[in-house]
Amino acid sequence: MFAYIVRRAAYAIPILIGVNLLTFYLFFVVNSPDDMARLHLGVKRVTPEAIEKWKAERGYNKPLLYNEAVSGSERFTKTIFFEKSVKLFAFDFGYSDDGRDISHDIAQRMVPSLAIAIPSLLVGLLINISFAMLLAFFRGTYVDVSGVILCVALMSVSAMFYIIGGQFLLGKLLRLMPISGYDGGVDAIKFLVLPVIIGVVSGIGSSTRLYRSFFLEEAGKDFIRTARAKGLKESRVLFRHLLANAMIPIVTGVVVILPLLFMGSLLLESFFAVPGLGSYTIDAINRQDFAIVRAMVFLGSVLYIIGLILVDVAYTVVDPRVRLS
Amino acid sequence: MYSSFQERPNHLDPVQSYSSNEVRFTGQIYEPPLQYHYLKRPYALVPLTATAVPQPVYLGADGERLPEDSAPEDVSWSVYDIHIQPGIRYQPHPAFAQDADGRPLYQDLDEHALGDIYALGDFEHTGSRELVAADYVYQIKRLAHPHLHSPIFGLMSDYIAGLGDYADTLKAASAEHTETGGDKGFLDLREYPLAGAEVIDRYTYRIKLRGTYPQLLYWLAMPFFAPVPWEAERFYSQPGMQERNITLDWYPVGTGPYMLTVNNPNRQMVLVRNPNFHGETYPEQGEPGDAAAGLLVDAGKDLPFIDRVIYSLEKEDIPYWSKFLQGYYDTSGITSDSFDQAISVGSSGEVALTDTMLEQGIGLKTAVSTSDFYTGFNMLDPVVGGYTEAARKLRQALSIAVDTEEYISIFLNGRGIPAQNPLPPGIFGFLEGEAGINPYVYEKTATGPQRKSLAIARQLLAEAGYPDGRDINTGKPLVLNFDTTATGPDDKARLNWLHKQFAKLNIQLVIRGSDYNRFQEKMLKGTAQIFQWGWNADYPDPENFLFLLHGEQGKVEHNGENAANYRNTEYDRLFNRMKNMPNGPQRQQVINRMMAILQHDAPWIWGFHPKQFSLVHSWYHNAKPNLMANNALKYQRIDPQQRAALQAQWNRPVRWPLGALLVILLAIIVPAWASYRHRQRQPAHRGSH
């Protein structure tokens, strides 16, 4: 297995170079270093000299990919792409365009992101699996039909509606919890309840329908029929046989997103003023801070690759028939 | 007090902070020599740390003293001697911390010594010292610092003697400093004299300007001219500080009523009363009506009134508005979404608070912004630009057709007044009533000025060579291009409206949407044809508006602020005269002539001056819109007991729906459970599942 993981990690290097190159290309297709300088320096009384100075200080006065003014390997190394990218592979994210330490910011903002993402994931899993099992158990009955209709209805509502509706209903109308905000330590809990509820409720429709289909697929298999034929109690059939086998696709689906939980939620963090990595990324895009955008895309890619490797490993854990070689 | 910020300020270093979201912090922390009187209108400068508002001494080419009323062209130098009050002390800060022997504690640190320090508050010791004139001079020198980007360096180097060359001196010094591995990156500006800013004695410094520039006094009320102690710059230059985000741009050091104790722009910024504040009292005089409005209740009392101001990150308007209504924020603006909920507009256009707001005791404050929002013509463009009579008539026709009153009514909920020229109300030169009306767009009627009819606009268009919107020579329809960054779904209605305005004259308007940077590029290259732009006053002087159309400020030629690239020799001549004149009838006369030229040439469709509406809770006192002062926080007072009581009253949780939800869940679960039990007890049947 170790050799497999090492091999997969090695495959990741060209992928990451490609992602980095693509991020670089897309960013600079839309923005030139002059644009970035102008945005950072403001709109009033910005002189061309100030723009040149800003670029020179941050190394944006060099050619993007190929430097004709120098010779040898420096033609590639004395470029914005090389100088801004090579350190990423050592996870040295450097400084944002306004001089802040990106690693420090990421470390700080990771906590609020996880504070929403982990409870949302765990509570969501519990509710979605329970609901899906309930529907599977009562398949074909009014409970199942009503449940599926409810799921489709929940899926049809946009995330924005959940957020604004949730803030209005629970925060403003019923005044049960703060509308938005964040605080450190234990005080954060009261601010996290509403985004977690909204995160969970907005995911019920799609996840429950998906998990229900997993359960129904397993329920029709021979080993379930055999278990029932043996006279096992329904609860044992459900939890020992059905759930265990249906959990294989559920677990793999969850494992792949686990590392991405660090990246935070763009919408929830923005509307609830939670200072996580999702809003960090959005802010960086709005401020045209290439250093942060490139770091966050790189980090996201690394985490996604880790997620995929973890899925492969998870397969071997939950399904003994699978072997990594 | 509770307030918010939507995005973190880019700069808190007074040499760089310029945007409104920056000076709202730096204005409370740093103290320039002058400030605006909080209550008086028109805006008046009064001393802050200075003992008096300085008056210039004029010198001739040979250094001889000239009379006060000398013509500007005779004046070679203007000298301002500024005396500051003794005894003013800086806020507690580690840069000033000393050991028992008087040696600095934190001026010789390395990365290792910083250890677990990641914020300014992590330093155990702090100190302070007296403010001296040298600190003001130090800051003026910082305008030319090679590693800083002061937005006013270009402007000030035109006036402050030797500032332009000083930047070159510092650049060379910095390069040498880097090569020799100088004092840990600290470039000590005290070692490099500047002719235009010098210390006279401990409490007096001198600024020497080329020619005359009376507007300098306004700049002396901005953080650009606030003091910065050299110890602070040296402290922040030490190794490891920048890496830990401990910089002057992040942690200001001032003498003002507040100091920034928490700067976590991911979540919260906190201003706390500066224990070393030198003391100041609430003004005892205001303008008529202030006493009746309760604005003089605190006259003579010590400032500031509020101990602690907490700014929380709040990115979206909707949650902010809801929290304001719940009493968790003390003041609020009014977005378009919440306008109807907050304001009722009467049949004759008068605005008032809705009953809901009145029931909560919320108050409304309004003021016309000292801002311009206009539609500009690129005067270099062959169709809409130029100074021929035909081109003028085309622009005048369009100025009539674009119905600004309708725009204000539809898109601003009436929050604006149509502009007649670049000068907004409250700025010297603005003329009230019919005297100020633009005669090319409005005509006098018995009921007051009315926008001219479309028939007149069509006539002007025909005289311009486009009868019925078609080129008289080619017969082709006139197609004009409008460049804008407003390309989102929310902007569609506005663009459609603008399209219709042009269509009134059978002119086709092509909307050319682009992002902000492309738009800036077009403006710099002069390839835009018609565009919209805005300007927010730096200071309350007509020069700060009229320079927007000065030829030397042309965007294409000089990369200046004249986005329309307008150039009129007579206007430029009058501008150069007007900018050095004191306010009075003569200056008004010159301005009137300038206005007449502008209105005739019509380089802008003058657009509107927005009205600011802000809401305050009943526990918030002394709120008076002051569009120039950036240090108004110290005058505000709140009643925390009243706030706490009303918050509790307004925010009692409603819990019965939770009970109802529980009942509904039980109503679902119990039959399901019963059904499950029933199925479990059923005997097995052939064919059953």
> What mean pLDDT comes out for the span B58-87?
93
Q: Does B319 touch chain A (CB under 8 A)?
A: yes
- Residue B235: CB atoms within 10 A of its CB come to 26
What local confidence, expressed as pLDDT, does residue B395 receive? 97
- Euclidean distance between CA atoms B453 and A87, whole angstroms: 66
pLDDT at B271 over 80: yes
Instruction: Name chain A contacts of B515, Cβ cutoff 8 Å.
Output: 30
Q: Do A39 and B516 touch (CB under 8 A)?
A: yes
The secondary element (H helix, E strand) that includes residue A75 is: helix A74-77
Query: A176 and B654: CB-CB below 8 Å?
Result: yes
Per-residue burial over B165-184, b if 16 or more Cβ lie within 10 Å, else e, is ebbebbeebbeebeeeeeee
pLDDT of residue B684: 63
Chain B residues touching residue A180 (CB < 8 angstroms): 314, 316, 319, 323
Closest chain B C-alpha to A190 CA, distance in angstroms = 14
Given a contact cutoff of 8 angstroms between Cβ atoms, the answer to whether B401 and B661 are in contact is no
Distance from CA of B337 to the nearest CA of A (A): 13
Question: Looking at the complex, does the CB of residue B244 fall below 8 Å from at least one CB of chain A?
Answer: yes
Taking CB atoms and an 8 Å limit, are A57 and B147 in contact across chains? yes
**Host H or E run for residue B258:** strand B258-264
Query: What pLDDT score was predicted for residue A121?
Result: 92
**Rounded CA gap, B588 and B432, in Å?**
13
Check residue B685 and give its pLDDT.
64
User: According to the model, what pLDDT value does residue A325 have?
Assistant: 65
DSSP assignment letter at B470: B
Q: Check CB contact under 8 Å for A175 and B318.
A: no
Average pLDDT over residues A228-236: 85
Cis, bond preceding B653 (omega within 30 deg of 0): no
The residue in chain A having the minimum alpha-carbon distance to the alpha carbon of residue B240 is A101
Does B450 contact chain A (CB < 8 Å)? no
Residue B234 sits at φ, ψ, to 5 deg, of -65, -45
Helix (H) or strand (E) holding B439: none
Please answer yes or no on whether A30 and B315 come within 8 Å at the CB atom.
no
pLDDT band for B121, please (50, 70, 90 cuts).
Answer: confident
- Selecting from B244, B315, B325 the residue whose C-beta is nearest the C-beta of A273 gives B315
Residues of chain A in contact with residue B267, where contact means CB-CB under 8 angstroms, are 182-184, 273, 275
Question: Which residues in chain B are closer than 8 Å to A232, comparing Cβ atoms?
Answer: none
Confidence check: pLDDT of A29 > 80: no
Q: Mean pLDDT across the stretch B148-169?
A: 93
Write the DSSP symbol of residue A172.
Answer: I
pLDDT: which is higher, A197 or B267: A197
B10 touches chain A (CB under 8 A): yes
H/E element holding B231?
helix B230-236
Per-residue pLDDT band at A87 (split at 50, 70, 90): confident
- Give pLDDT tens digits for B643-668: 999 999 999 999 999 999 999 989 88
Residue B662 touches partner A, C-beta closer than 8 Å: no
A227-236, B27-36, B164-173, B232-241, range with the lowest pLDDT:
A227-236
Instruction: Write down the mean pLDDT value for chain A.
Output: 86
Residues of chain B numbered 472-511 and touching chain A (CB < 8 Å): none
Tell me, what's the pLDDT at B168? 94
Q: Is it the case that residue B375 has pLDDT exceeding 60?
A: yes
B414 alpha carbon, distance to own chain's centre = 22
Contact A45 B515 (CB under 8 A): no
Contact list in A for residue B149 (CB cut-off 8 A) is: 41, 50, 53-54
Tokens for B148?
A: 């800083």
- Please list every residue in chain B whose beta carbon sits closer than 8 Å to the beta carbon of residue A178: 323
Q: How confident is the model at residue B688, as a pLDDT?
A: 47
Q: How many helices (H) and strands (E) does chain B have?
A: 21, 25
Cβ-based contacts of A275 with chain B (< 8 Å): 264, 266-267, 313
Say yes or no to pLDDT of B182 above 80. Answer: no
B658 touches chain A (CB under 8 A): yes
- List of domains in chain B: 25-248 (3.90.76.10), 371-612 (3.10.105.10)
Least confident range from A98-102, B189-193, B548-552: namely A98-102
Burial class (CB in 10 A: 0-12, 13-18, 19+), A274: buried
**The tokens of B477 are what?**
């329809």
Which position has the token pair 């490797």? Answer: A309
Contact assignment for B322 to A168 by CB distance below 8 Å? yes
pLDDT band of residue B687 (cuts 50, 70, 90) is low
Cβ of B437: how many Cβ atoms within 10 Å?
19
Name the helix (H) or strand (E) containing B482.
strand B479-484
* DSSP 8-class letter at B353: E
Largest CA distance in chain B: 120
Nearest CA in chain B to A180: B319
The ipTM assigned to this model is 0.78
Is B153's CB within 8 Å of A50's CB?
yes
Comparison of pLDDT for A266 and A175, the residue scoring more:
A175
Shortest CA gap A198–chain B (Å): 15
Alpha carbon B218 to chain centroid distance? 14
pLDDT, tens digit (0-9, with 9 covering 90-100), for B446-463: 888 899 999 999 999 999
User: B556 at the A interface (CB within 8 A)?
Assistant: no
Q: Please give the average per-residue pLDDT across B255-284, as a whole number.
A: 93
Residue A290 clears pLDDT 60, i.e. is over it: yes
Give the pLDDT confidence of A162-203 residue by residue, as tens digits.
999 999 999 989 999 999 888 888 888 999 999 999 999 999
Please indicate if any CB of chain A lies within 8 Å of the CB of B341. Answer: no
Which residue type occupies B580? N
Q: Where are the domains of chain A?
A: 102-318
Range name among A69-73, A169-173, B384-388, B415-419 with the lowest pLDDT average: A69-73
How many helices and strands, by DSSP H and E, does chain A display? Answer: 15, 0
Contacts of A54 in chain B (CB under 8 A): 149
Helix boundaries (H) for A167-289 = 188-219, 222-229, 234-236, 243-257, 266-271, 277-286
Residues B297-354: pLDDT tens digits? 999 999 999 999 999 988 888 889 999 999 999 999 998 788 889 998 877 777 899 9
| pLDDT over threshold 80, residue B679 | no
Which ranges in B247-384 belong to alpha helices (H)? Answer: 317-325, 336-342, 355-359
Half-sphere exposure of B110 toward its Cβ, with a 13 Å CA cutoff? Answer: 1
User: How many CA atoms does the CB half-sphere of A170 hold within 13 Å?
Assistant: 21
Question: Residue B188: phi, psi to the nearest 5?
Answer: -80, 105
AA letter at B443: E
Does residue B78 sit in helix, strand or coil?
strand
pTM score: 0.85
- CB contact under 8 Å between A180 and B319, yes or no, is yes
CA atoms of B382 and B605, how far apart (whole Å): 18
Q: Is the predicted pLDDT of residue B169 greater than 60, yes or no?
A: yes
Q: Of B18, B149, B680, which has the smallest distance from its Cβ to A234's Cβ?
A: B680
Q: Which of A96-105, B9-18, B287-296 has the lowest mean pLDDT?
A: A96-105
How many beta-carbon pairs below 8 A join chains A and B?
132
Least confident of A103-112, A262-271, B43-52: A262-271
B586 touches chain A (CB under 8 A): no
pLDDT band at B434 (very low <50, low <70, confident <90, very high): confident
Joined together, the tokens standing for residue A293 give 């955008």
Confidence band, pLDDT 50/70/90 cuts, at residue A282: confident
Query: Token match 């010791």: residue?
Result: B125
- Picking from B684, B688, B676, B531, the residue whose alpha carbon sits closest to that of residue B603 is B531
- Chain B residue numbers with beta carbons less than 8 Å from the beta carbon of A116 are none
- Decide: B471 and B463 in contact? Cβ < 8 Å: no
Q: Given CB atoms, is B314 within the 8 Å cutoff of chain A?
A: yes
Q: Does B6 touch chain A (CB under 8 A)?
A: no
Q: Are A109 and B313 within 8 A, CB to CB? A: no
Search chain A and give the residue with CA nearest B679. A234
Answer whether residue B689 shows pLDDT above 60: no
**DSSP classification of residue B50:** B
Confidence check: pLDDT of B296 > 90: yes
Cα–chain-centroid distance for residue B606? 20
- The answer, yes or no, to whether residue B183 has pLDDT greater than 60, is no
DSSP code of B417? Answer: E
**Quick one: pLDDT band at residue B542, thresholds 50, 70, 90?**
very high
> Which residues in chain A have their CB less than 8 angstroms from residue B325's CB?
172
Q: In the predicted model, is pLDDT for residue A261 greater than 80? A: no
Nearest in space to B537 (alpha carbons), one of B626, B636, B597, B433: B626
Distance CA A254, CA A248 (A): 10
Q: Residue A109: what are its φ and ψ, rounded to 5°?
A: -85, -15
Write the DSSP symbol of residue B267: T
Q: Helix %, strand %, coil % for chain B, to 5?
A: 35, 20, 45
Output the average pLDDT for chain B.
Answer: 92
Mean pLDDT, rounded, for A129-150: 89
Residues of chain A neighbouring B153 (CB-CB closer than 8 A): 47, 50
A102-318 has which fold?
A: MetI-like fold (1.10.3720)
> Residue B149 is nearest to which of A53, A105, A141, comparing CB atoms?
A53
Residues paired with B260 in a beta bridge: B271
Angle subtended at Cα A306 by Cα A304 and Cα A310, rounded to the nearest 5 degrees: 115
The span from the CA of B566 to the CA of B41, in Å, is 32
Indicate yes or no: CB of B18 within 8 angstroms of CB of A48. no
Mutate to test the interface with B, among A30, A38, A45 (most CBs of B within 10 A): A45
Query: Mutating which of B315, B519, B681 best tests the A interface, going by the most A Cβ atoms within 10 A?
Result: B315
Tell me which chain B residues have a C-beta less than 8 angstroms from the C-beta of A137.
676
> Which pair of tokens denotes residue A284?
């960086």
pLDDT of residue B114: 84
Contact residues on chain B for A45, CB-CB shorter than 8 A:
18, 151-152, 154-155, 561
- B172 CB near a chain A CB, below 8 Å? no
Structure-token match 């040498």, residue found: B176
- Integer-rounded Cα radius of gyration of chain B: 30
Phi, psi (degrees; rounded to nearest 5) at A198: -65, -40
CA distance B513 to B237: 44
Give B289-316 as a 3 state SS string.
CCCCCCCCCCCCCECCCCCEEEEEECCC
Nearest to B315 among A41, A137, A270 (CB): A270
Omega before B304 within 30 of 0, i.e. cis: yes
